[in-house]
Structure 1
């Protein structure tokens, strides 16, 4: 917990005063448990039943939220089995729906499930279908915050152990909790600020419109 807070404090100090506000935000929501992802998408867009049913293809929805135009691309579930070419094709389609590229890839982790070593391997295998640079654009989204029952999310992280901590490390210790039942707008505002902080840290290198390097990346994966 201390290491996580220290790392985030260092990043904040390094880029203090350089915060970049975004008039529109493009988010790609990936991971397991379609129900939790759908709740998260509804929460972010501040509307009920935006994402419903079992998805086999990526779906994009857009709303005006917290003084920004927010686009969420919801991707189908993945499992703990090794990813197939079909899964890769689906994820790449999700990237095209975020054209010119997602600002952030939100990795769904429901807090009522244990996060095992098998989960860690699955997350890494699926995320890396989007290229090894995907991690600098990734943020762990802890869904179902109501389940924590007043506990700090850092306590949950510590309890889950090494597999979850390794994923957080790959994501630069970036994470956000969404209650998903109350749809608290303050949680969405915090998420938007973290996305903008990520943009600032990456110096705007988030997609074809901003960086030749990332243009080559998105086009190559």
Structure 2
């Protein structure tokens, strides 16, 4: 399989079908959503770093089952947190994700582990964070339910039906869902079925991708640069203060 590349450096020829996917989701306590792992599973390559929290939105591209598939991984938010409690830079990175797969994503995959303790606060948190995108985001969303244990779809379905808050989230997303057993990476049929569901969604949406305001992309990039520069200046100031304090302490020690 050809090596995965950043989207803007891809030199692959375009197959008949192109799919653009943005992974979204959060974390609960110490339980991560598994977005990066799901992205690697879809692309069939370990292109997203799963050893650390995703801090920046990142796009990778690969040919999968004859389709040119672009996957964008994004920073997660804490489930239960309001959008105002999510760091501004994370909000900007989440918003910017749709600009990394021009002209816009076909689908958002909302990644939720099957054993998450989904509560009512999840639904409110989800709604607020999805407002970072356009109003039609729910019509472009599939819930991707991940598991690391080899549960059957029947067991997963039974588990979901016992969680009212999850049922309400699924209703918001048109009851579109797919199960991923991340422990069975050899089962590529899971990926094939997901891509088929995405294509069905695209057809039902009249072959429209999620609309993206290009001018917003420039504004977001400027905001990111400004925030990064301010953070860098604050860091430099702290380092200078620490250096002065250290010199002061060392000077007093020598005088005694």
> Structure 2-normalised TM-score?
0.69
Q: Which moved more, 1:63-72 or 1:85-94?
A: 85-94
**Superposition pairs of residues 170-189 of structure 1, within 5 angstroms:** 170-183=172-185, 184-189=187-192
**Per the alignment, do residues 215 and 92 of structure 1 end up closer, same or farther by CA in structure 2, a change over 3 Å counting?**
closer
| Number of the residue aligned with 1:46 | 44
Q: CA deviation at 1:170?
A: 1.0
Separation in structure 2 between the aligned mates of residue 22 and residue 72 of structure 1, nearest angstrom? 18
**Per the alignment, do residues 152 and 35 of structure 1 end up closer, same or farther by CA in structure 2, a change over 3 Å counting?**
closer
Separation in structure 2 between the aligned mates of residue 22 and residue 35 of structure 1, nearest angstrom? 32
> What is the number of residues matched between the two proteins?
193
Separation in structure 1 between the aligned mates of residue 33 and residue 107 of structure 2, nearest angstrom? 20
Separation in structure 2 between the aligned mates of residue 22 and residue 200 of structure 1, nearest angstrom? 15
Q: CA deviation at 1:129?
A: 1.7
**Per the alignment, do residues 174 and 22 of structure 1 end up closer, same or farther by CA in structure 2, a change over 3 Å counting?**
farther
Q: CA deviation at 1:51?
A: 3.0
Separation in structure 2 between the aligned mates of residue 69 and residue 164 of structure 1, nearest angstrom? 31
Q: CA deviation at 1:41?
A: 1.0
Superposed structure 1 runs of 4+ greater than 4 Å apart: 218-221
Considering only CA atoms, is the larger Rg found in Structure 1 or Structure 2?
2
Q: CA deviation at 1:82?
A: 1.2
**Residue 189 (structure 2) pairs with residue 158 (structure 1):** no
**Per the alignment, do residues 136 and 149 of structure 1 end up closer, same or farther by CA in structure 2, a change over 3 Å counting?**
closer
| Number of the residue aligned with 2:22 | 28
**Superposition pairs of residues 91-170 of structure 1, within 5 angstroms:** 91-144=94-147, 146=149, 148=151, 151-161=154-164, 163-170=165-172
Q: CA deviation at 1:98?
A: 1.4
Please state whether the residue corresponding to 2:209 is helix, strand or coil.
coil
Structure 1: give runs of 5+ residues left out of the alignment. Answer: 1-20, 208-213
Separation in structure 1 between the aligned mates of residue 212 and residue 47 of structure 2, nearest angstrom? 34
| Number of the residue aligned with 1:205 | 208
Q: CA deviation at 1:172?
A: 0.7
Q: CA deviation at 1:176?
A: 0.5
Determine which structure has greater relative contact order: mean sequence separation of CA pairs < 8 Å that are 6+ residues apart, divided by chain length. Answer: 1
Indicate conservation of the 8 Å contact 2:109/2:144, yes or no.
yes
Q: Which moved more, 1:135-144 or 1:56-65?
A: 56-65
| Number of the residue aligned with 2:248 | none
Structure 2: give runs of 5+ residues left out of the alignment. Answer: 1-14, 218-256
Please state whether the residue corresponding to 1:94 is helix, strand or coil.
helix
Q: CA deviation at 1:119?
A: 1.3
**Residue 77 (structure 2) pairs with residue 78 (structure 1):** yes
Separation in structure 2 between the aligned mates of residue 177 and residue 24 of structure 1, nearest angstrom? 22
Separation in structure 1 between the aligned mates of residue 215 and residue 133 of structure 2, nearest angstrom? 10
